[in-house]
Structure 1
Amino acid sequence: MATKTLSSTCFLTLTFLLLFLVTGHQALNSAPYPVVVSTWPFVEAVRAAWRAVDNGLSAVDAVVEGCSACEELRCDGTVGPGGSPDENGETTIDALVMDGVTMEVGAVAAMRYVKDGIKAARLVMQHTEHTLLVGEQASVFAISMGLPGPTNLSSSESMEKWIKWKENHCQPNFWKDVVPKGGCGPYHAKDFVGLYDETCSNTTPVGNIRSSSHIGLHNHDTISMAVIDTMGHIAVGTSTNGATFKIPGRVGDGPIAGSSSYADDEVGGCGATGDGDIMMRFLPCYQVVESMRLGMEPKLAAKDAISRIARKFPDFVGAVFAINKNGVHAGACHGWTFQYSVRNPDMDDVKVYTVLP
């Protein structure tokens, strides 16, 4: 009798252990993270970030790996070196990384001669108490910290694009209501005389309010990426070479925390792409995260942020993705069809989502 009771007890114990192992394994696989989300069908960049985070690296490490892959691949010709020449034919880099745990940010803007934008941004975050370094001094910092350089960030493709633009009388460009003789600069104050309505305030230009008609997928774009790691911590990053034919010195939303991307471990994260000159005035990613903090679902938070911009600038083009701390994601856009890429534990590979304006 004692033997039978012991055997029954052993059987029940073994059954319980098997059930625990099976259900425990299933629970592990059903965790909402790690997750990688990126603007556009930048599949290889998402794969690079996924490999990093799936191997136990932090969210910040994975963001740097993913954005670096896009810089190396020159995604859409608008990330990394070799694309988006300014009015002088030069390519510069803007980048940002943000840690949603510490709320630390590192960023570089209008960086010349250094191709590794996201790595330079991380060095700013790691080794300084600053948030943003700009221009040639950002390049000096990055090189002093061990990044390769100086190097020419232009390419044969970017120079060919710039030459054709010059032949087209430097159109389109980013100057308001001015086409000097010959079409190209340098521009001076006298070129703008008489362009303002004297019956109105001296800040009211004659003509249409600025639109985003010459902003598009292949002349102004950003990789913006969010990663939630296996510990549930979130980080975001961006990298871009900015608007094609921009006025030299221009900085868009790429290195601006809260505009191109934003993260808070308690809530989630956001990434943005589009007409940065307009979008940065609204800090759409900060808006998205704060809306989610107040209980709004990612889809509604993304739509709300975009609609706030569209009410003031109905012709702008842009998009955001939102992801909450549970891995729920959504996108919203205006003026173009937007795509964003995702990889999570339920997927065998990266999945691209399409969002209609």
Structure 2
Amino acid sequence: MNGATMEVGAVAAMRYVKDGIMAARLVMQHTKHTMLVGEQASAFAISMGLPGPTNLSSTESLEKWIIWKANACQPNFRKNVLPADGCGPYHPKGNVKLAQNNCLMDNVAESVTLGSSHVDRHNHDTISMAVIDKMGHIAVGTSTNGATFKIPGRVGDGPIAGSSAYADDEVGACGATGDGDIMMRFLPCYQVVESMRLGMEPGLAAKDAILRIARKYPDFVGAIFAVNRYGKHAGACHGWTFQYSVRSPEMEDVEIFTVTP
């Protein structure tokens, strides 16, 4: 995302192309769109010069998948389906017609309890970064492979502007990581930037955005960093101890900051 022009480039559910963040930048630089998805995102990236199609499976990922299949595809991200402890094919559990079923709100407690049960620091790999140049222009980027054992076709918060990242030259920037399926429902980075626009310090803005999510999903796992246009930065997290790194021209090396829940 370009904080000067508010342009965004994103790709989602893209296969066979390794460099997702570069593909997203190509969308911003060479199209009038904001997001491309699926096979056509791959075709676009390759047509613009990125290597592919490439088999992105590794020995480690294949071994992990084989063990997962042998364990009846557990854990997974499905709910209210049968078979509950198998690899499918899946079908809805019970009668899905709301008119003949319990009130939708009956499932709220169950949904909130599920929270981030399959997401922790070991099974996702989001990298989010913000950069401020000498002219004061701000850019952000996020790259991720998504959650382990996700349902095919799943799109997380990585390519969603305002969720995993957001920037505005006039205010500052934000990056996020964690349970994207929950965090994208709150657009936490948009919230952070808008809170800073109203005068909130980065630390308070980040904490406020995290607490908004935690009030609805007390078991969720996630973290945010915030930086204003003057370079003041802070982080906030829930469900884990979070670390982020900072480098500026005045610093001899990268400095790592630790944030506790």
Question: Which TM-score tier does this pair reach, normalised by the shorter chain?
Answer: over 0.9
Matches within 5 A, 1:266-281: 266-281=170-185
Who is 1:172 aligned against? Answer: 75
User: What residue is the counterpart of 2:94 in the other structure?
Assistant: 193
Residue 223 of structure 2 corresponds to residue 319 of structure 1: yes
Q: What secondary structure, in the 3-state scheme, does the structure 2 residue paired with 1:255 have?
A: coil
Q: Which has the larger radius of gyration?
A: 1
Higher relative contact order (CA 8 A, sep 6+): 1
Q: Residues 144, 348 of structure 1: CA spacing in aligned structure 2 closer, same or farther, 3 A cutoff?
A: same
Of the three residues 39, 44, 62, the one matched with 1:141 is 44
- Equivalent residue, structure 1, for 2:236: 332
SS at 1:111's partner residue? coil
Aligned partner of 2:166 in structure 1 is 262
Matches within 5 A, 1:1-357: 98-178=1-81, 180=83, 183-189=86-92, 192-193=93-94, 200-202=102-104, 204-205=106-107, 208-209=110-111, 210-357=114-261
Letter in 1 for 2:39: E
Query: What's the counterpart of residue 43 of structure 1?
Result: none
Matches of 1:172 and 1:159, distance apart in 2: 16
> Among the aligned pairs, what percent are the same residue?
78
- What letter corresponds to residue 220 of structure 2 in structure 1? F
Question: Which residue identity is paired with 2:148?
Answer: T
Structure 1, residues 38-63: CA drift from partner, whole Å, max 9, x if none? xxxxxxxxxxxxxxxxxxxxxxxxxx
Opposite residue 258 of structure 1, the aligned amino acid is G
Q: What letter is aligned with 1:325?
A: R
Q: What TM-score do the two structures reach when normalised by structure 1?
A: 0.69
Q: Are the equivalent residues in 2 in contact too, given 1:234–1:268 (CA < 8 A)?
A: yes
The 4+ residue runs of structure 1 with deviation greater than 2 A are 194-200, 202-210
- Determine the C-alpha separation between the residues in 2 that align with 1:206 and 1:265: 39
Mapped partners of 1:289, 1:104: distance in 2? 16
Counterparts of 2:199 and 2:105, CA distance in 1: 40
- The root-mean-square deviation of aligned C-alpha atoms, in Å, is 1.8
Distance 1:171 1:201 in 2: 29
Q: CA 1:193/1:246 → structure 2, altered by over 3 Å: closer, same or farther?
A: same
SS in 2 for 1:99: coil
CA distance in 2, matches of 1:148, 1:272: 28
- Match of residue 91 from structure 1: none
Q: How far 1:221 sits from its partner (Å)?
A: 2.9
1:179–1:166 CA distance, 2 compared to 1 (3 A) = farther
Q: Distance in 2 between matches of 1:211 and 1:278?
A: 8
Deviations 1:105-135 (A, max 9, x none): 0000000111110110011001100000000
Question: Post-superposition shift, 1:186?
Answer: 2.3
Alpha carbons 2:77, 2:118 under 8 Å: kept: no
Distance (Å, rounded) in 2 between the aligned partners of 1:105 and 1:195: 38
In structure 2, distance between residues paired with 1:258 and 1:295: 19
Flag the structure with higher helix content.
1
Q: Which runs of 5 or more structure 1 residues have no equivalent in the other structure?
A: 1-97
Q: Partners of 2:101 and 2:2 in 1: how far apart?
A: 50
- Cα displacement (A) at 1:195: 8.4
Cα deviation for residue 196 of structure 1 reads: 9.6
TM-score between both structures, scaled by the size of structure 2: 0.94
Alpha-carbon distance in structure 1 between the residues aligned to 2:217 and 2:30: 39
The verdict on how the C-alpha distance between 1:342 and 1:199 changes in structure 2, with shifts beyond 3 A counting, is: same
Structure 2 CA distance for aligned equivalents of residues 115 and 238 of structure 1: 14
Task: Give the Cα separation in 1 of the matches to 2:220 and 2:250.
Answer: 35
Distance 1:322 1:328, change over 3 A: same
The offset of 1:155, in angstroms, is 0.8
